[in-house]
């Protein structure tokens, strides 16, 4: 097929660069510089898509982001759901197809619904499908949901990227205002970022044939752009949409057609001291019967297609307008060979400057376009004179309409700036800015080019004064005419049988709006939600204002008091990939590793994420060994031989200063200040509302130096907590805190043979039990590595926690494994650690502490110092307990009557096993290697006084019975860990 609607010359397409593409399976071609829309028009394609509700044929209506209907789906490499043909840059090999139609866009089965419009008015689904049940209807309605298909796979090639930028001034829009502003500000030397959503700079000047300083406007654009390009302080990006205006002048920009071909899209987070919004204006539609027929277009789009893309959209055109702008297109369109049959102008009095431009054309003042005839394309229109009431039919293939212009206030509004209604241009314009931003040009309601330059000059000199003292004055001489408008929110459609659309994508008609208002959905938000007007892909860029106008007219108030619906980000739809940037795979939420992680992986450990993003070994299965066998083997090794685990993730802090003792007394529930150097204690930390926050150990190094260790998952929170207390509650105390979590790694050897192993490793520390008792630490050499060895135990067995610098950790670990070989040492994972601590009844924050229990409930009341007058949480624990010590859930052991029956962790305990509110739950249950049976821990009401009684664990359809015991199943006197 040839480009039979392409003009022979002119436009900004490169006729030497032919690009082949396919649409709905047919082959076409266009040129470099085309959009898919202009190329389709050049090839005479009229029906692009089907609408959402009625499946009516949809053609191209606009020429850019404002188009409400020309949705296509892109296929293959560029697969992407809904795209406006008017914004798809034509590429060689591009494949696209129509959306929302079956079997084809030209014969769409779904369009049958349009013959029963009376049965599907706005909100019909709220009134029907209730009997017998919505569930019966939903599946078939759901099939009709959505427009395009979503891509089934991620892009095969390339990646997304995100960048941060800081700038003094961000200018959004490279139309006349934006370019002039950028240059003015850039000349003061400050950093300028200029972004624009179009493929080329110039904004509206690309579509017009105006003259600036007696040269074609486009030449002026080129001058400006090349001048900006010479300046180091200017970053200028096209194909870059500022789509979100966040707090503190953070603007998010989506850049496409990136200079690096491996980058699909790039996201910029631009933080600007000042934002200059120069986003132009968007032409709005008029509402008349069948205003959705292919061939009914926005007037500015017709001009753009002719001037910028050199395509002749139609042969015989009728204008319908309520403002001056269409009159300035006459020459351009006639030069392109378009026959202008009439201008229907709803105004009684048309300005002379307009009439003088339309001398040879039939101008019908005070007239209304009543109806469009034709289905898949315009055949003719009916026009009515409001003076005489008479109708006339005009045959034509193109209707170009203009309802006036809306300043693109989206970003201003997103920034929380307020709006006001400007009667002169019948549009909402920016009122007050909340953030440091200004609006210039058409988005500020200033439409005439000369005035835009004047305003830009004024505001920019002021701004330049703010950012730097020098500035310059530019004078521009332009030939553009003045703009005036008389609003026409809707033509009189009260007795019209054909549909007239406010929202062309979602098929929201005049009748729908009237019905919503009739039924009391009177607020603009109600109308939007009831009719779905403005909720489509275009978010109502051309149509919403007419809905607001219609509401105002019906309610007899001004548009100001109706107000707008909220302008939300994004300004235009933006891909999730670009928002996310490079963060994927291992960097999406990076793991934390220890020097032993790699060793663990090599040994076939089953690794998983533990708290605070640590990646830890769960267990080390041998070949063909299951979970339980592996865990049992590791547990038995610790109980009867010696095992080793990597305790590096434990939180570790060093505290220095003369007030550390009292500080620890404040943050722990027990007394730490009485510790002698070299000794330590286990302690609990509470939050001030009395909830258990962490458990850990504190050791004194010397008079003023201490270290503490905390659970791995809470170390950041504890760091935060300690510094918060010191900053705000005890600013006078002399305590310095250093987080040494990543400075100390440790390998903990545990089990009855631990001392023999340590001896074999060779150490200069006297490790005799009397010289180095439980809950003390010593510094010295272990396996020729400087180490701090601590006698703590989380397993109940004799343990030595050997702390070394990370650079020595792997060396130590490998040495332990090597030397430990003769003791049949095994590495121990988190699962075995869990079993070992349950056997001992040691606390695990993630299991036993669920926000309802305190230390007394856990049988740890001995940790709650009575001597100290205050520590964090003390008052609250006492207050919460009050007089009522009954009915609290207390920690107990659970021995299932059947020793071979496990109780699922988390299983509820109910009185007598009835299906009623719970009296507790199972916090943990493990196979005990020392008892050769399942043992559990649980929290149960008044548990401390119920030892020996039966607990009923209520499962869905059965009861597991267990004996309530003390929560300890191994070495109750703690002889082993002190041995």
Partner 1 sequence: MLLINCPFCKERNETEFVYGGPVGVDRPDPNAVADQEWVDFLTLVPNPTGPVFEKWWHARGCGEWFVICRDTVTHEILESPDEKS
Partner 2 sequence: MQNYSFFSLARNALSSHKNWQAAWRSPPLKEEYDVIIIGAGGHGLATAYYLAKEFGITNVAVLERGWLGGGNVARNTVTVRSNYLRDQSIPFYVKSVSLYEGLTKELNFNMMHSKRTMVDVVHNYPKMRDLRRRQLTMDIYNSTYEQITVEKVRQLIPALTGGGPGSRLPIIGGMVHKDAGVNRHDAVAWGYARAADSLGVEMHQKTGVTALLRASNGDIQGVETNKGVVKAKKVVVAVSGHTTTLTETAGLKLPLRTMNLTAFVSEPIKPIVDVIVNCSDLGFYFSQSDKGELVIGGAPDSAQSFRRDIKQHVFEDTVGAMLELFPSFKKLKLLRQWGGHLDITPDASPIMDETSVPGLYVTAGWWGGYKAIPAGGLTMAHHVAKNMPHPLMEAFTCNRFKNLDYILETGTTTAR
Q: Which does 483 bind (CB under 5 to 8 A by kind): partner 1, partner 2, none?
A: none
| CA 453 to each of CA 212, 235, 258: distance values in angstroms, whole numbers, following the listed order | 11, 22, 31
Of 147 and 717, the one with the shorter C-beta distance to partner 1 is: 717
> Cα–Cα distance between 965 and 949 in angstroms, integer?
8
Q: Which does 979 bind (CB under 5 to 8 A by kind): partner 1, partner 2, none?
A: none
Residue found by looking up tokens 């406007």 in the block: 217
Of 339 and 876, the one with the shorter C-beta distance to partner 1 is: 876
Q: How far is the CB of 151 from partner 2 (least distance, A)?
A: 5
Q: Which does 940 bind (CB under 5 to 8 A by kind): partner 1, partner 2, none?
A: none
Q: How far is the CB of 593 from partner 2 (least distance, A)?
A: 13
| CA 821 to each of CA 605, 643, 716, 816, 824: distance values in angstroms, whole numbers, following the listed order | 18, 11, 36, 8, 5
Q: How far is the CB of 519 from partner 2 (least distance, A)?
A: 5
Q: How far is the CB of 691 from partner 1 (least distance, A)?
A: 11
> Cα–Cα distance between 894 and 586 in angstroms, integer?
41
Q: Cis (ω within 30 of 0) for the bond into 103? A: yes
Structure tokens that stand for 7 in this block: 């003009």
Q: Which does 869 bind (CB under 5 to 8 A by kind): partner 2, partner 1, none?
A: partner 1
**DSSP for residue 480:** P
Q: How far is the CB of 423 from partner 2 (least distance, A)?
A: 23
Residue 138 backbone phi and psi in degrees, to 5: -55, -45
Q: Which does 874 bind (CB under 5 to 8 A by kind): partner 2, partner 1, none?
A: partner 1
Terminal-residue alpha carbon distance, the chain: 93
Of 147 and 355, the one with the shorter C-beta distance to partner 2 is: 147
Structure tokens that stand for 674 in this block: 């009485």
Q: How far is the CB of 262 from partner 2 (least distance, A)?
A: 15
Of 704 and 876, the one with the shorter C-beta distance to partner 1 is: 876
Q: Cis (ω within 30 of 0) for the bond into 132? A: yes
Q: Which does 727 bind (CB under 5 to 8 A by kind): partner 1, partner 2, none?
A: partner 1
Structure tokens that stand for 101 in this block: 């139609």
Strand order in the sheet with 391-395: 367-373, 380-385, 391-395
Q: Which does 584 bind (CB under 5 to 8 A by kind): partner 2, partner 1, none?
A: partner 2
Of 160 and 813, the one with the shorter C-beta distance to partner 2 is: 160
Q: How far is the CB of 712 from partner 1 (least distance, A)?
A: 17
Q: Which does 118 bind (CB under 5 to 8 A by kind): partner 2, partner 1, none?
A: partner 2
Q: Which does 907 bind (CB under 5 to 8 A by kind): partner 2, partner 1, none?
A: partner 2
Q: How far is the CB of 761 from partner 2 (least distance, A)?
A: 33
Q: How far is the CB of 879 from partner 1 (least distance, A)?
A: 6
Of 164 and 356, the one with the shorter C-beta distance to partner 1 is: 164
Q: How far is the CB of 952 from partner 1 (least distance, A)?
A: 36
Of 323 and 415, the one with the shorter C-beta distance to partner 1 is: 415
Of 260 and 566, the one with the shorter C-beta distance to partner 1 is: 566
Q: Which does 111 bind (CB under 5 to 8 A by kind): partner 1, partner 2, none?
A: none
Q: Which does 806 bind (CB under 5 to 8 A by kind): partner 2, partner 1, none?
A: none
Q: How far is the CB of 739 from partner 1 (least distance, A)?
A: 8
The residues binding partner 1 (CB under 8 A) are 246-250, 269, 271, 416, 434, 688-689, 716, 719-720, 723-724, 727-729, 739, 869-870, 874-876, 879
Q: How far is the CB of 872 from partner 1 (least distance, A)?
A: 9
Q: Which does 581 bind (CB under 5 to 8 A by kind): partner 2, partner 1, none?
A: partner 2
Q: Which does 601 bind (CB under 5 to 8 A by kind): partner 1, partner 2, none?
A: none
Q: Collapsing DSSP states into helix, strand and coil, what is residue 454?
A: helix
Helices (H), 617-728: 627-640, 660-667, 715-724
Angle between helices 660-667 and 715-724 (to 10 degrees): 120
Of 519 and 703, the one with the shorter C-beta distance to partner 2 is: 519
- Are the beta carbons of 775 and 792 closer than 8 angstroms? yes
Angle between helices 524-531 and 510-518 (to 10 degrees): 120
Pairing of strands 296-298, 419-422: unpaired
Q: How far is the CB of 120 from partner 2 (least distance, A)?
A: 9
Q: How far is the CB of 548 from partner 2 (least distance, A)?
A: 14
Of 690 and 796, the one with the shorter C-beta distance to partner 1 is: 690
What are the beta bridge partners of residue 926?
Answer: 935
Q: Which long-range contacts (CB under 8 A, 24 or more apart) does 899-907 make?
A: 899/932, 899/933, 899/934, 900/933, 900/934, 901/934, 901/960, 902/927, 902/934, 903/934, 903/936, 903/953, 903/960, 903/962, 904/955, 905/847, 907/953, 907/954, 907/955, 907/960
Residue found by looking up tokens 């191209």 in the block: 60
Structure tokens that stand for 201 in this block: 């700079």
Q: Which does 101 bind (CB under 5 to 8 A by kind): partner 1, partner 2, none?
A: none
Label residue 158 left, alpha or beta by phi (over 0 means left) and psi (-120 to 50 means alpha). left
| CA 85 to each of CA 39, 64, 151, 206: distance values in angstroms, whole numbers, following the listed order | 9, 8, 17, 18
**DSSP for residue 182:** H
Of 144 and 879, the one with the shorter C-beta distance to partner 1 is: 879
Structure tokens that stand for 14 in this block: 């490169």
> Cα–Cα distance between 673 and 429 in angstroms, integer?
67
Of 633 and 874, the one with the shorter C-beta distance to partner 1 is: 874
Q: How far is the CB of 589 from partner 1 (least distance, A)?
A: 14
Structure tokens that stand for 557 in this block: 């108030």
> Cα–Cα distance between 388 and 299 in angstroms, integer?
26
DSSP per-residue codes, 823-849 = GT-EE--HHHHHHHHHHHT---HHHH-
Q: Collapsing DSSP states into helix, strand and coil, what is residue 413?
A: helix
Work out the burial of residue 131: count CB atoms within 10 Å of its CB; fewer than 13 is exposed, 13-18 middle, 19 or more buried: exposed
Q: Which does 115 bind (CB under 5 to 8 A by kind): partner 1, partner 2, none?
A: none
Of 724 and 912, the one with the shorter C-beta distance to partner 1 is: 724
- Are the beta carbons of 490 and 500 closer than 8 angstroms? yes
Q: Which does 723 bind (CB under 5 to 8 A by kind): partner 2, partner 1, none?
A: partner 1
Of 389 and 585, the one with the shorter C-beta distance to partner 2 is: 585
Of 269 and 615, the one with the shorter C-beta distance to partner 1 is: 269
Pairing of strands 26-32, 49-50: unpaired
Of 529 and 868, the one with the shorter C-beta distance to partner 2 is: 529
> Cα–Cα distance between 541 and 572 in angstroms, integer?
10
Q: How far is the CB of 929 from partner 2 (least distance, A)?
A: 21
Q: How far is the CB of 21 from partner 2 (least distance, A)?
A: 18
Q: Which does 729 bind (CB under 5 to 8 A by kind): partner 2, partner 1, none?
A: partner 1
Of 417 and 573, the one with the shorter C-beta distance to partner 2 is: 573
């Amino acid at each position: 097929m040839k480009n039979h609607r392409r003009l022979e010359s002119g436009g900004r397409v490169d006729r030497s660069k032919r690009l082949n593409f396919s649409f709905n399976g047919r082959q076409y071609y266009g040129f470099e510089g085309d959009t898919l829309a202009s190329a389709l028009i050049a090839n005479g394609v009229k029906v692009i898509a089907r609408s959402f509700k009625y499946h009516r044929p949809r053609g191209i209506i606009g020429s850019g982001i404002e188009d409400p209907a020309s949705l296509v789906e892109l296929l293959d490499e560029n697969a992407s759901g809904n795209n406006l043909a008017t914004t798809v840059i034509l590429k060689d090999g591009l494949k696209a197809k129509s959306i929302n139609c079956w079997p084809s866009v030209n014969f769409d089965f779904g369009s049958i619904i349009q013959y029963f419009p009376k049965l599907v008015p706005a909100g019909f689904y709220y009134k029907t499908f209730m009997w017998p049940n919505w569930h019966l209807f939903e599946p078939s309605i759901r099939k009709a949901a959505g427009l395009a298909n979503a891509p089934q796979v991620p892009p095969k090639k390339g990646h997304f990227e995100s960048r941060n930028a800081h700038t003094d001034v961000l200018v959004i829009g490279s139309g006349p205002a934006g370019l002039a502003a950028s240059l003015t500000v850039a000349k003061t030397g400050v950093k300028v970022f200029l972004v624009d959503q179009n493929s080329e700079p110039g904004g509206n000047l690309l579509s017009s044939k105006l003259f600036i300083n007696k040269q074609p406007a486009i030449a002026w654009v080129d001058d400006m752009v090349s001048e900006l390009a010479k300046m180091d302080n200017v970053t200028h990006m096209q194909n870059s949409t500022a789509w979100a205006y966040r707090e503190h002048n953070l603007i998010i920009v989506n850049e496409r057609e990136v200079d690096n071909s491996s980058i699909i899209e790039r996201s910029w987070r631009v933080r600007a001291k000042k934002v200059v919004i120069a986003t132009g204006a968007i032409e709005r539609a008029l509402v008349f019967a069948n205003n959705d027929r292919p061939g009914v277009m926005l007037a500015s789009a017709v001009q753009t297609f002719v001037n910028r893309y050199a395509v002749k959209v139609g042969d015989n055109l009728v204008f319908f307008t309520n403002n001056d702008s269409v009159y300035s297109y006459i020459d351009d369109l006639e030069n392109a060979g378009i026959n202008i049959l009439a201008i229907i102008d709803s105004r009684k009095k048309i300005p002379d400057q307009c009439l003088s431009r339309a001398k040879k054309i039939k101008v019908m003042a005070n007239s209304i376009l009543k109806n469009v005839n034709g289905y898949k394309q315009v055949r003719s229109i009916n026009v009515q004179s409001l003076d005489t009431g008479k109708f006339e039919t005009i045959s034509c293939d193109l209707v170009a309409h203009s309802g006036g212009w809306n300043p693109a206030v989206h970003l201003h509004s997103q920034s929380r700036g307020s709006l006001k209604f400007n009667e002169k241009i019948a549009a909402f314009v920016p009122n007050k800015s909340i953030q440091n931003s200004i609006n210039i040009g058409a988005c500020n309601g200033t439409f005439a080019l000369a005035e835009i330059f004047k305003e830009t000059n004024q505001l920019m000199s002021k701004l330049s004064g703010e950012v730097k003292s020098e500035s310059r004055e530019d004078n521009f001489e332009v030939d553009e005419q003045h703009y005036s408008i008389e609003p026409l929110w809707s033509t009189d459609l009260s007795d019209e049988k054909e549909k007239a659309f406010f929202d062309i994508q979602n098929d929201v008609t005049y009748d729908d709006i009237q019905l919503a208002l009739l039924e009391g959905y009177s607020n603009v938000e109600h109308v939007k939600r009831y009719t779905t007007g403005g909720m489509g892909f275009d978010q109502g860029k051309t149509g919403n204002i007419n809905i607001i106008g219609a509401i105002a007219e019906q309610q007899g108030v001004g548009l100001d008091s109706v107000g707008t619906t909220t302008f939300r980000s994004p300004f235009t739809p933006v891909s999730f990939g670009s928002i996310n940037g490079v963060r994927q795979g291992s960097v999406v939420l990076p793991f934390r590793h220890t020097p032993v992680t790699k060793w663990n992986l090599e040994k076939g450990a089953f690794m998983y994420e533990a708290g605070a993003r640590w990646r830890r070994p769960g267990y080390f299965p041998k070949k063909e060994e299951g979970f339980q066998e592996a865990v049992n083997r590791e547990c038995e090794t610790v109980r009867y031989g010696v095992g080793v685990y990597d305790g590096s993730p434990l939180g570790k802090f060093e505290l220095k200063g003369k007030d550390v003792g009292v500080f620890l007394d404040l943050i722990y529930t027990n007394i730490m200040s009485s510790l002698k150097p070299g000794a330590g204690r286990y302690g609990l930390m509470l939050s001030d509302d009395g909830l258990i926050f962490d458990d850990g150990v504190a050791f004194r190094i010397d008079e003023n130096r201490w270290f503490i260790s905390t659970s791995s998952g809470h170390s950041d929170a504890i760091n935060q907590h300690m510094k918060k207390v010191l900053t705000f509650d005890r600013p006078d105390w002399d305590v310095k805190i250093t987080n040494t979590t990543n400075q100390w790694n440790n390998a903990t050897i545990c089990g009855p043979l631990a001392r023999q192993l340590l001896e074999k490793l060779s150490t200069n520390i006297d490790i005799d039990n009397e010289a180095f008792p439980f809950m003390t630490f010593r510094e010295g050499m272990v396996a020729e590595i400087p180490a701090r060895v601590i006698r703590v135990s989380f397993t109940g067995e004799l343990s030595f926690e050997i702390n070394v610098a990370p650079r020595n950790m792997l060396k130590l670990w490998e040495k332990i494994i090597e030397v430990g070989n003769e003791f049949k040492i095994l590495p121990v994972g988190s699962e075995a650690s869990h079993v070992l601590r349950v056997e001992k009844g040691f606390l695990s924050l993630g299991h036993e502490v669920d926000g309802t229990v305190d230390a007394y409930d856990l049988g740890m009341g001995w940790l709650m110092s009575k001597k100290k007058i205050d520590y964090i949480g003390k008052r609250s624990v006492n207050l919460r307990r009050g007089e009522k010590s009954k009915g609290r859930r207390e920690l107990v052991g659970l021995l299932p009557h059947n020793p071979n029956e496990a109780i699922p962790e988390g299983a509820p305990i109910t009185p007598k096993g009835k299906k009623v509110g719970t009296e507790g739950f199972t916090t943990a249950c493990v196979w005990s290697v020392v008892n050769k049976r399942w043992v559990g821990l649980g929290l149960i009401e008044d548990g401390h006084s119920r030892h020996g009684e039966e607990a009923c664990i209520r499962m869905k359809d059965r009861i597991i019975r267990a004996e309530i015991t003390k929560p300890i199943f191994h070495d109750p006197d703690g002889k082993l860990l002190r041995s």
